[in-house]
C-alpha cells in the first residue's frame, strides 16, 4: 500500500513536453538516505531477477525506444535502467502490488537521471551541450 500522496503515472508524465518538466514531476523530495529494504534487501534483488520483471522491463524499453524519460531527443547510449515512478516498498513486493509490473508506473532512465531523481538534484542531469564540429575533426590521423 502506497503512503505516497502523489501517485505518478506514465500517462501523466507524457503530458510534459520537455525533459526538465518530466524530471521535476518525478524527482523525489523525501530526502536522501531514507531506508527502503534494510536487511530485507534480498526481496527486491529476487524481484529484479524474476522472469516477470525482465519481461516488463523489455516492454518498457521498447515503448520508450530506450530514451531517457521517454524523450526522443535523449537516446540512452549506455545501459538503460527502468525506474519505478513511485517508490517500491517491502509491502509492495510481498503483496505483489500493481506498482511493480504495470508499465503505467515505469519509465526508462539513464543512470545519471536515476540518481538525479532520487537525490532531487537537477545539477546531476546530463547537460544539453552541443559539440561544435570543425573540418577534419573526425579524422584520427590528423
How confident is the model over 44-65, as pLDDT tens digits? 888 999 999 999 999 999 999 9
Share above pLDDT 70 across residues of the chain, in percent, rounded to a whole number: 82
Rounded Cα distance between 126 and 55, Å, is: 28
pLDDT at 10: 98
Compute the average pLDDT of residues 67-89. 93
pLDDT at 1: 41
- Cα 76 to Cα 64, 73, 81, 111: the distances in Å are 10, 10, 9, 9
Alpha-helix residue ranges (DSSP H) falling in the chain: 10-13, 19-26, 41-48, 51-63, 90-94, 98-101, 111-119
Amino acid at each position: 500500500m502506497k503512503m505516497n500522496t502523489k501517485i505518478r503515472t506514465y500517462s501523466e508524465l507524457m503530458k510534459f513536453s520537455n525533459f526538465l518538466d518530466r524530471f521535476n514531476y518525478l524527482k523525489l523530495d523525501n530526502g536522501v538516505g531514507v531506508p527502503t529494504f534494510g536487511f530485507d534487501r534480498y526481496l527486491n534483488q529476487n524481484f529484479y531477477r524474476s522472469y516477470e520483471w525482465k519481461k516488463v522491463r523489455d516492454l518498457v524499453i521498447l515503448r520508450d525506444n530506450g530514451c531517457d524519460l521517454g524523450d526522443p531527443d535523449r537516446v540512452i547510449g549506455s545501459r538503460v535502467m527502468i525506474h519505478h515512478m513511485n517508490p517500491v516498498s517491502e509491502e509492495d513486493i510481498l503483496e505483489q502490488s500493481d506498482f511493480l509490473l504495470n508499465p503505467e508506473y515505469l519509465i526508462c532512465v539513464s543512470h545519471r537521471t536515476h540518481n538525479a531523481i532520487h537525490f532531487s538534484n537537477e545539477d546531476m542531469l546530463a547537460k544539453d551541450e552541443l559539440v561544435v564540429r570543425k573540418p577534419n575533426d573526425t579524422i584520427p590521423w590528423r
